[in-house]
């Protein structure tokens, strides 16, 4: 019996120790960053492909996709080394630029990416009154010639809120969205959504966000997320 236990222990020891040969250290250096305009992070739809990392000098040129969160921050775990952080031109809701930032990663590193969104959403405020969520914001056109298609107050059932996954209230609240043509951008834009309609009454959690659609640009611009029911 003892012999059996010993042999099991020996086998286990061999099994565990021999693993080391084909293992290598995982990447440990963290690259953090933000997508900024005038010092403020730009809100986007989570998961869109706007940034890529490449490391020159290797045989292949396969880029590493950088996942950007909806608040415009990102982080990647990398090996130490020199990288190029490339904006994928035209995929984000901002002026296309194919700028490349040289990033030298050595331990924890942080980098800011500056973009010029077609519109910025300023002075955002949310409030819930009488079971109606109300928002106010000031839109600023940053790129001449870009037309506003619509601005909407959208709601989601998780903290990740974007236009494709939003909840559609039935009936829709006419005050929750405004078309862009003829909208006076000098005044604050007020939007509201009645919460007493299906399916907003039945969801246990509810989060709100302002979304701005620019004509001809598939990706929308977003404000920060406001917890309505959490």
> What residues make contact with other proteins under the rule CB under 8 A?
47, 49, 59-62, 88-91, 96, 163-166, 168, 172, 213, 215-219
* Minimum separation from the CB atom of position 104 to other proteins (A): 24
Q: No. of H helices and E strands in the chain?
A: 1, 16
75/177 with CB nearer other proteins = 177
Cα angle 133, 196, 123 (rounded to 5 degrees) comes to 5
Residue 27 DSSP symbol: P
**Token pair listed for 14:** 């061999």
* Minimum separation from the CB atom of position 42 to other proteins (A): 18
DSSP string, 52-68: EEE-TTSS--PPEEEPB
At residue 73, φ and ψ (nearest 5 deg) are -100, 160
* Minimum separation from the CB atom of position 108 to other proteins (A): 29
39/171 with CB nearer other proteins = 171
**Token pair listed for 93:** 């809701």
34/213 with CB nearer other proteins = 213
40/150 with CB nearer other proteins = 150
* Minimum separation from the CB atom of position 27 to other proteins (A): 20
Residue 96 backbone zone (phi > 0: left; psi -120 to 50: alpha; other: beta): beta
Please tell me the number of Cα atoms within 13 Å of 24 on its side-chain side. 2
* Minimum separation from the CB atom of position 62 to other proteins (A): 5
């Amino acid at each position: 019996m003892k012999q059996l236990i010993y042999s099991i222990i020996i086998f286990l020891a061999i099994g565990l120790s021999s693993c080391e040969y084909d293992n290598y250290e995982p990447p440990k250096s963290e690259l953090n960053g933000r997508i900024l305009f005038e010092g403020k992070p730009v809100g986007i739809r989570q998961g869109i492909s706007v940034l890529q990392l490449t490391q020159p000098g290797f045989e292949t040129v396969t880029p590493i996709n950088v996942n950007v969160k909806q608040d415009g921050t990102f982080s990647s775990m990398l090996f130490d080394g020199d990288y190029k952080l490339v904006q994928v031109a035209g995929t984000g809701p901002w002026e296309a630029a194919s700028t490349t930032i040289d990033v030298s990663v050595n331990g924890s590193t942080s980098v800011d990416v500056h973009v010029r969104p077609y519109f910025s959403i300023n002075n955002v405020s949310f409030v819930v009154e009488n079971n109606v969520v109300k928002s106010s914001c000031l839109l600023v056109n940053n790129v001449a010639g870009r037309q506003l298609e619509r601005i909407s107050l959208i709601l989601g059932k998780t903290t990740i809120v974007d236009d494709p996954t939003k909840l559609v209230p039935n009936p829709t609240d006419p005050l929750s969205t405004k078309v862009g043509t003829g909208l006076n951008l000098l005044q604050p834009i007020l939007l509201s959504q009645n919460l007493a309609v299906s399916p907003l009454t039945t969801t246990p959690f509810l989060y709100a966000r302002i979304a701005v659609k620019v004509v001809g640009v598939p990706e929308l611009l977003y404000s920060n997320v406001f917890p309505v029911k959490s």
